[in-house]
Chain A
Amino acid sequence: MADDLPADARRAAVGRFLGLFSGVLDRSTVTVLVLAALLAGVGATGGWAGAQDQESTLLAADVGAALAADPLTVTVKKAFVADTIPTLAPARPGSRFVLVTVTVENTSPRPVDARVTAASFGVSLQGLRQFGRSVAQDSARPDVVRAIDATPLGALQPGIEQNLALVWEQDAAQKVPETVSVVVIGHTWRISALDGSWQWFDPAPAATVELPLVPLPAA
């Protein structure tokens, strides 16, 4: 076994092995190969952007502070918990609902649909459910309702401030926490590498807001 060889013999074996390639490996070729391996390694571990992300820390914002998270500016206001929310969330056995009120404005020059709006918010709760099934915290999307008329949000039009209700469903077996952290997530407007369409991609948490979770007052 190579491990049993003396150090001198091991070096000689390595030298003989490298000698097999001496005809094709000059100094510049080796340099290029090392650089290629370095770039491949960076790519495989998430690229330079990954290093940048790890350096940045998630901003902890105050309740009521305006936050910029493209394409929106967001103000997180209050959080309520209830077994049922009149007109928004009828009672569902085994579930409760967490409602977060926010004010948002679309600062981009084009409409932002309800899917991207919902994907702009996350919440730190255990036992989240969606469409009757358990979902991971990162992928749980809230129902988004316009506060002004209690209709489901279709799109946020540019330059119009809207009060919204974000509703998450949670397993009722979970303990109700005293506080809840709402994560505000930004996106990037770029062209799709798959079909060439322009869309909001690359969700990235922009800030987190911790606020007290209180029972929803009776209507």
Chain B
Amino acid sequence: MAPGQNAVAGLVVVAALAAGSTLISRVPGPDEIARQPFLHSGQVGTAIHLRTGEIVVEGVQASTRVRQGATTATTSAHWLVITVRYTAADTPSTLAGMTLESRDGRSYSLARPFHTACGVGQPGVTITCSMPFEVPAAALEGARLRVPAALLGGGAGDDVANVDLGIDAAAATRLEQSTDPLRIEAVTVVGSPGTGASP
């Protein structure tokens, strides 16, 4: 092979390797695919079935001052309190690792001084939890609640509820103006949906 042909062949091989490398970097790998959550979308008031149980977001309220048990916390922003009804499926489980996602993609977590998880639900026994997220006003409109089926892994490769909280511009304004102190319970046992029993 002539020297010129060698150089062309070398360039073609290098170009093919570069193209292959670029293509591979743009294709999700097996680990990335395995970590994709199974999203279950829903709205306020609708039941969403996860691997570990069923959740229903009952509603949202807001304040700048919230009391939960013996703890009172104030914010210069807003406490968006989301009340969730939860019935564990086959084994005792807890709702933890919940995040609030705003329209611009920012995420907000539950944090001290409040409870960061919704108790431990026993199979078939419904509990409700009120969970305060500290958020700026801009995060209210269009916010969504994401609830992983289990804390471990944060929903990677697992069921995740993705709940539209139904906060439009008018609702966001109303929530933004809510400053009356709220008193909430971290966990309340409702009882068995089948029997209607309550504590």
Q: A residues within 8 Å of B by Cβ?
A: 109-111, 113-114, 146, 148-149, 151-155, 157-162, 196
Question: Given the complex, which residues of B lie within 8 Å of A146, measured CB to CB?
Answer: 73
On whether A154 and B113 interact (CB within 8 A), knowing A109-B107, A159-B106, the answer reads: yes
**Residue A162 contacts which of B76, B108, B135, B138 (CB distance < 8 angstroms)?**
B76
Within 8 A of A (CB), among B127-185: 133-136, 138-139
The reply to whether B77 and A151 form a contact with Cβ atoms under 8 Å apart is no
CA distance A109 to B106 in the complex (A): 4
**Residue A157 contacts which of B105, B114, B135 (CB distance < 8 angstroms)?**
B135
On whether A160 and B134 interact (CB within 8 A), knowing A109-B107, A110-B107, A149-B73, the answer reads: yes
Please give the distance in Å from A207's CB to the nearest CB on chain B. 25
CA distance A113 to B111 in the complex (A): 8
The reply to whether A157 and B112 form a contact with Cβ atoms under 8 Å apart is no
Please give the distance in Å from B126's CB to the nearest CB on chain A. 27
Q: B residues within 8 Å of A by Cβ?
A: 31, 71-77, 104-109, 111-114, 116, 133-136, 138-139
Subset of 29 A-B contacts with CB under 8 Å: A109-B106, A110-B106, A110-B107, A111-B111, A113-B111, A114-B112, A146-B73, A148-B75, A148-B76, A149-B74, A151-B71, A151-B73, A154-B111, A155-B111, A155-B112, A157-B77, A157-B108, A157-B111, A157-B133, A158-B106, A158-B107, A158-B108, A158-B139, A159-B136, A159-B138, A160-B75, A160-B134, A160-B135, A196-B31
Apart from A110-B106, A149-B74, A152-B113, list 10 A-B contacts with CB within 8 A.
A109-B104, A109-B105, A111-B107, A148-B75, A151-B71, A157-B135, A158-B106, A158-B136, A158-B139, A159-B136
Chain A residue nearest to B114 (CB atoms) is: A154
Question: Given the complex, which residues of A lie within 8 Å of B75, measured CB to CB?
Answer: 148, 160
Please give the distance in Å from A216's CB to the nearest CB on chain B. 22
Please give the distance in Å from B32's CB to the nearest CB on chain A. 11
**Residue B113 contacts which of A109, A151, A161 (CB distance < 8 angstroms)?**
A151
Question: Given the complex, which residues of B lie within 8 Å of A114, measured CB to CB?
Answer: 112
The reply to whether B112 and A152 form a contact with Cβ atoms under 8 Å apart is yes
Chain B residue nearest to A113 (CB atoms) is: B111
Interface centre among A148, A152, A160 (most CB of B within 10 A): A160
Please give the distance in Å from A87's CB to the nearest CB on chain B. 13
Question: Given the complex, which residues of B lie within 8 Å of A111, measured CB to CB?
Answer: 107-109, 111
CA distance A105 to B116 in the complex (A): 22
Question: Given the complex, which residues of B lie within 8 Å of A157, measured CB to CB?
Answer: 77, 108-109, 111, 133-136
CA distance A160 to B76 in the complex (A): 8
The reply to whether B72 and A149 form a contact with Cβ atoms under 8 Å apart is yes
CA distance A152 to B77 in the complex (A): 17
Question: Given the complex, which residues of A lie within 8 Å of B31, measured CB to CB?
Answer: 196
User: Closest 6 interchain pairs by CB?
Assistant: A154-B111, A154-B112, A155-B111, A151-B113, A111-B109, A149-B74
Question: Given the complex, which residues of A lie within 8 Å of B113, measured CB to CB?
Answer: 151-152, 154
On whether A153 and B112 interact (CB within 8 A), knowing A109-B106, A109-B107, A159-B106, the answer reads: yes
Please give the distance in Å from B124's CB to the nearest CB on chain A. 32
CA distance A144 to B165 in the complex (A): 32
